[in-house]
Chain A
């Protein structure tokens, strides 16, 4: 069992798995509670043209992905704010255009094989530079998340009240989108553009099935994401499987287990609520 730890690439992969797992789990909790899963999905797909263009130009592909996802996040936020287009419509339009652009660029290189790591992730191939960048982005994102935790909590539960006390909702919304964009870029290294949203959403969704407490939800979400990421790395190492797919399927397994044991753990709503409400004075 200790054999994989002898290799530097495995050491890096395991550290990356823990960092990516914790980051995706923390931000994923907000994504699930704010019902932004589709936005996460959109951003993950939008990274592709950035990756492809950076690859073609010989630039840092991480940087390319950052630019593409941040740009998409801002565009989605801007379109949604203008209210001329529904938010879900803008989420449907922009990422598909970005993904199509990515495919166009990839097809022009005639090198689909080089792009497979971008699409499906390769955590075993994380370099020292990638790892440093991943840790830096994760620490920065988690710090910002922590500093404005109470405001984001209020944004989720009662945005109108947040607005009445003067909290600038647009700054919070754009801020969350930017953090999400950065997290997506980090996740792409581990599980690829197509599967990153799963790492964001599934651990948090599984945790939500187990608890009604936000703090506990974040902890469970981290546990599921980190365990899945580590399990995926080991499965990939021992059985030669795709690391991205292994990680996501492990997340899926966590979700199924939580779904099955949920009835014996928690009840979402008060069982007395219906009977009490039925005798209300109208």
Chain B
């Protein structure tokens, strides 16, 4: 079937040619029922093809920043643009990798099914998955070395396997901007090596990544630039 009824309530817009992947200007945000600002006047921009680290301790505002950029949390003031377009206009071009705790891992679903949800944005309402979607999913599973887990139930995965499955879903969406919330946190050494390989591959393909992390090691060569957050404020920016 060729019809496409987008989930998006706003009309879909294509990325602007010269615009940065992400631009934040004086963004402030707070959670419902909390007077304290979780983000205070954050301004920065991420050029296309750049790998940026978002460094800070717990509570620094890293996840909040991702939630604002992925339209999960409304900002109280400021402006956010994704590829030069307002939030919500480029759904297919941006993907948010949440922390593992955001998923209901007890839901009865196979690994392949969860990875395939990354294709929903291209299907919209009333369309079902096709051969190309399955092909993309298998490709992502192979990249993360979890193809043998494809039919395993998500409730039966270890923490490292869960992380790889979520990254596979992000890859399947084939977005140009990836917002990765601590993908290297609390995973085993093997998973870490595989994830780093995938991130390097994304960088080589010209994808833009913004990755939250507690620890920043310039020697790893994963990032082009790092910004540091503390108590919701951006304290410095460092080019590696």
Contact = CB atoms under 8 A, between A and B. Distances in A.
A237 interface: no
Interface stretch (A5-13, A222-230, A268-276): A268-276
B156 A279 contact: no
B96 A164 contact: yes
A57 to B, nearest CB: 39
A154 interface: yes
Interface residues of A, number: 37
Interface in A67-95: 83
B158 A273 contact: yes
B107 to A, nearest CB: 4
Contacts of B123: 150
A273 B159 contact: yes
Nearest to B94: A164
Interface string B36-80: 000000000000000000000000000000000011100000000
B187 A83 contact: no
Contacts of A280: 159-160, 186-188
B2 interface: no
B127 to A, nearest CB: 9
A142 to B, nearest CB: 16
A158 interface: yes
Interface string A203-238: 000001001111001000000000000000000000
B104 A157 contact: yes
B188 A158 contact: no
A132 interface: no
B207 interface: no
Contact of B117 (A161, A212, A276): A161
B121 A158 contact: no
A270 B198 CA distance: 26
Nearest to B151: A213
B213 to A, nearest CB: 12
B130 interface: no
Contacts of A163: 71-72
Nearest to A147: B126
B84 interface: no
B96 to A, nearest CB: 5
A58 interface: no
A244 B6 CA distance: 44
Interface of A: 33, 83, 147-148, 150-151, 153-154, 156-158, 160-161, 163-168, 208, 211-214, 217, 267-270, 272-273, 276-277, 279-282
16 contacts: A33-B108, A151-B120, A153-B117, A154-B117, A154-B120, A157-B109, A158-B103, A161-B96, A165-B173, A166-B91, A168-B7, A211-B108, A213-B110, A213-B153, A268-B155, A276-B188
